[in-house]
Structure 1
Amino acid sequence: MSFPKDFLWGGSISAFQAEGAYLEDGKGLTVADLRLKKANDENGLADSSIAVDFYHHYKEDIQLMKECGLKSFRFSIAWSRIIPDGCGEINPKGVAYYRSLIEELLKNDIVPIVTLYHFDFPQALIEKYNGFASRECIQDFVRYAKVCFESFGDIVPYWLTINEQMVITELPFFQGLTDLKTSYQAFHHMCIAHALVTKLYRSMHFNGQIGPCISYTTRLPATVNSKDMMLAYQMDDLNVFSLIDAHYYGEYPPYFINELKRKNLMFDVLPEDKEMLADARPDFIAINWYVTEVVGQYVNENMPEEYSGPDLPRQGRSVAGEYQYYKNPYTPYSEYNWNRDGIGLRFALRRLYARYRLPVMITENGWSANEKLGTDGKIHDDLRIAYFKEMVEQMSLAIDDGVELFSFNPWSFIDLLSSSQGMDKRYGMVYVDRTNDDLKELKRIKKDSFYYYKDVISKNGAM
């Protein structure tokens, strides 16, 4: 069986990490713009003012996509490019830009997959009422989505509502907030917004599909000790499945509510919220999946006698008294401490499909590296190729297992800004020749992985 004939082999970017033109043609500032500007001021990292200038290079980049054979392209619309202050006048230049981008994709037989909100929340709404921490933001997001559906719904077949909602909840500064309590209130409002936008899309009778975009890192237990096994299971439930459960069933699972109450993070719920959350089951589930992580009992130098696990290499990340991250001795790691574990992807796909029986789209997956052009003017990214080779093999096996996987959009097609490391941390199959402090000519250069992926697509994964 393996990959179906109509499988959508694609690539991914996001608006704030690729477009640049951050104040051009009427676009408003976003939380991401300010966060990256601060990183530029303090650490010299590239910011979003130009990024890799996809805004002006999109036709050139789409020609590279066509050359590679891409069947789909997942990107995001910048809310503040469509509605600069998030809630006021519509910006016709923003609408025209995305219409042109989408039509260019279609002209080259590339299916557009559009994310409505990918980390770049309009700064004006933070200043107005603290963003999604306010219930007012729900209707602002619904209105923004309606503008997008009215403008592009006739030519976009796949829509994603909110990218990695649990990530931006656990990292409040990613959405312009400062504390977890407020961030979890915003989480609840985003769940309502997702549900209302899903129902709005269906009420408009477009011939397309809509779903959430979930960050999914598979947690593996550090040992066969049941304490570690339960810990890994609980962390996957809290970080991945609690959100999908909310979208799928229209209510929060008890284990999630109990955990929020235990940590004094429980949000306020109004009587009418139950109805708003109901009847918004996704058409598919999109996942951003990169790595597996090993978790086990918390350890520090003051309590070794309480630890009953093996002597595994430990990472610095931990939550005092609760859990500890470990390195997996059976998988290779990148310089950024992310591992390569294709079987973990198959495990994730199987578990996801068994739980919801919904079609699955992979919207991010990739290998990061600090890369510079070689003396031959090329990038020989063998480790990225090894990563993709493993992922393709395991996706094929997952499909043979019965998983309805219908699209793969690795992160990223072109180099772009990292959310935290500027231009140092690169994921692209196409090199963009700029550094943090030197724009150069922003020349696009195909890496070895570009040619590998082109071969994968031409053979429909039968490598």
Structure 2
Amino acid sequence: MKFPDGFLWGGATAANQFEGAWDVDGKGPSCMDMATNGNHHTPRQITPELDPNRLYPCHDGVDFYHHYKEDIALLAEMGFKCFRFSINWPRIYPTGFEDEPNEAGLEFYDRVFDELERYGIEPLVTLSHYEMPFAIARRQNGWASRGTIDLYVKYATTVMRRYRGRCRKWLTFNEINAGMMPIGMYMSLGILTGDPDLRHQPDNPQQRYQALHHQFVASALAVKAGHEIDLENKMGCMIAYMLAYPLTPNPADVELARERNQYRNYYCSDVQVRGEYPYFARRMWDEEGVEIDMAPGDLEILKQGTVDFYTHSYYQSQCASTDASQETSGNLLGGAKNPYLKETAWEWPIDPAGLRIMLNQVYERYQIPIMVVENGLGCRDEVGPDGAIEDDYRIEYLREHIKAMGEAIVDGVEVWGYTPWGCIDLVSNADGEMAKRYGFVYVDKHDDGTGTMARSRKKSFAWYQKVIESNGEVL
């Protein structure tokens, strides 16, 4: 097993969970700025008006805004070749409706790019990572409105022009297929349903599919703009890959797993990679009572705006079972428990082999380069009396997933890079807590909002440093 020369080892973050400074230097509130804290058992609450008696963890994040030099120096110390981060849409257009961008917001990212260039770290920028300006959700119900397409394209074009030549790998939307599930109604699509429970939004399939169509058109237009702005730009999609296995050889379980993989994993990426809706879309729409309203020219736009590379998150797999008596898994994806896998404290199955399986599935389908841009173990880290954090459990998790990724490369899959999630501790998205940590770097920030924001290296920091230095040969 040997990783190719130039393999992009690094890590990934998102502005709404990491950046903080939510109202500094002209930034407007994003949708996730309006979500309170929560935990594994208590969902975050969406509040259309800020409640002074509630805690909003995204307001502070871990304050990358004021620690960016220190944080990027830590990434460089590990030897990062690539850093995936997102640009905060309302930092550039505070409400989304402005004609001119917020110069102070643009200047902040100028400084971030300066630091990355100083250390020779290649940026991979996500244009939209659950950071829609809240004003768009309030005024026109987010992506339910076709008018949001123009607002997004204005924003995307602004930043791609500003940072032309400084960034050449762009992702249009983070985990766009979150919009295939009710949890994505607010978080991904910016639709205000009236229900405050972030995790369990009431479903409206017609609204979801229509909003996703608007995102597809916006993504294709951004891809076209990116190619026109700089011929060297590579434009990518990003999918939350939710691998489904049949629990048994029962043909009904096999069929259910096939349907889940089509619905959750391929509906969105087929549009973004192939430039057209998949063959199975019509049956899905008919069974859910959905009719997509397409403007003249939309299908041509989708065909012209296909991505150059595919990226994805991979944390876990699930089992599909038609037997209602099967014990269900407690993780976000649901499904039956897999008897062959261990689970994390947050009840996420640990399945390194699934990463090799899905990489082969995706490459067989699309034959374009792939990046694993999110993967990692969210768990509690204990700080020892001497300040040490012995996170061998994280090392073991990442080691096995890197091995699986390496096997996929030997299989013939073209994998460009690996950027584990939350390389520096950040706020958990679904739960809004700090206790669920992913990073190689520990941040002194806690669920009650207290902490000094001081950074310290975990044991996994030195381990990943050796992995990168040896290009994956020392695990």
Compute the TM-score of the two structures, normalised by the length of structure 2: 0.90
- Structure 2 residue aligned with 1:365: 375
**Corresponding residue to 2:300 among 275, 285, 298:** 275
Pick one of 147, 151, 160 that aligns with 1:136.
Answer: 147
Structure 1's 133 and 39: CA in aligned 2 closer, same or farther, altered over 3 A? closer
Write the distance in 2 (CA, Å) between the matches of 1:44 and 1:232: 40
Q: 2:440, 2:460 within 8 Å by CA — same for their partners in 1? A: yes
Q: Would you say 1:105 and 2:119 are equivalent positions?
A: no
Match of 2:102 among 91, 112, 115: 91
Contact 1:81 1:94 in 2 (8 A): yes
Aligned to 2:32: 32
For the structure 1 residues 264 and 231, does the alpha-carbon distance in structure 2 shift closer, same or farther, using more than 3 Å as the test? same
- Alignment partner of 2:282: what SS? helix
Residue 253 of structure 1 is matched in structure 2 by 278
Aligned mates of 1:8, 1:272 — CA distance in 2: 37
- Report the CA distance shift for 1:157/1:144 in structure 2 as closer, same or farther (over 3 A): same
Q: Confirm or deny: 8 A CA contact 2:10 2:419 kept in the other structure.
A: yes
| Secondary structure in structure 2 of the residue aligned to 1:10 | strand
- Worse overlay, 217-226 or 248-257: 248-257
Task: Specify which of 402, 415, 423 is matched with residue 425 of structure 2.
Answer: 415
**Conserved in 2, the CA contact under 8 Å of 1:346 and 1:395?**
yes
| Deviation per residue, 1:240-267 (Å, 9 max, x gap) | 1111111122221131231122112333
Counterpart-to-counterpart distance in 2, 1:194 and 1:92? 24
**What are the residue-to-residue correspondences of 1:274-293 with 2, within 5 Å?**
274-293=299-318
- Using the size of structure 1 for normalisation, the TM-score is 0.93
The answer to which of 414-423 and 75-84 deviates more is 414-423
Q: Which runs of 5+ in 1 are unaligned?
A: 301-311
In the alignment, structure 1 residue 160 sits paired with structure 2 residue 171: yes
Report how many residues are paired. 448
Where do 5+ consecutive residues of structure 2 fail to align? 38-43, 194-202
Following the alignment from structure 2 to structure 1, what is the Cα–Cα distance between the partners of residues 117 and 21? 23
Considering only aligned residues, what root-mean-square deviation do their CA atoms show, in Å?
Answer: 2.0
How big is each residue's C-alpha offset from its partner over 1:289-338, in whole Å with a ceiling of 9 and x where there is no partner? Answer: 111111111515xxxxxxxxxxx64325799xxxx711212122100011
Opposite residue 16 of structure 1, the aligned amino acid is: N
Query: How many Å separate the matches in 2 of 1:53 and 1:168?
Result: 28
> How far 1:270 moved relative to its partner?
2.5
Q: CA deviation at 1:380?
A: 1.2
Deviation at 1:410, TM superposition (A): 0.1
Q: Is contact 1:79-1:116 (8 Å) kept?
A: yes
Which of the residues 429, 444, 447 maps onto 2:458? Answer: 447
Moved more, 183-192 or 163-172: 163-172
Deviation at 1:44, TM superposition (A): 6.5
| Contact 2:165-2:230 at 8 Å conserved across structures | no
Residue 389 of structure 1 is matched in structure 2 by: 399
C-alpha spacing 1:83/1:42, structure 2 compared with 1 (3 Å):
closer
The answer on whether the counterparts of 2:10 and 2:83 sit within 8 Å (CA) in structure 1 is yes
Q: Give the SS at the match of 2:172.
A: strand
Cα distance in structure 2, aligned partners of 1:99 and 1:449: 30
Deviation at 1:42, TM superposition (A): 11
Determine whether 1:262 maps to 2:284: no
- Identity level (%): 38
SS at match of 2:83: strand
Q: Give the structure 1 partner of residue 218 of structure 2.
A: 193
Kept in 2, the 8 Å contact 1:46–1:435? The answer is no
Determine the structure 2 residue equivalent to 1:315: 329
Give the Cα–Cα distance (whole angstroms) in 2 for the partners of residues 344 and 417 of structure 1.
26
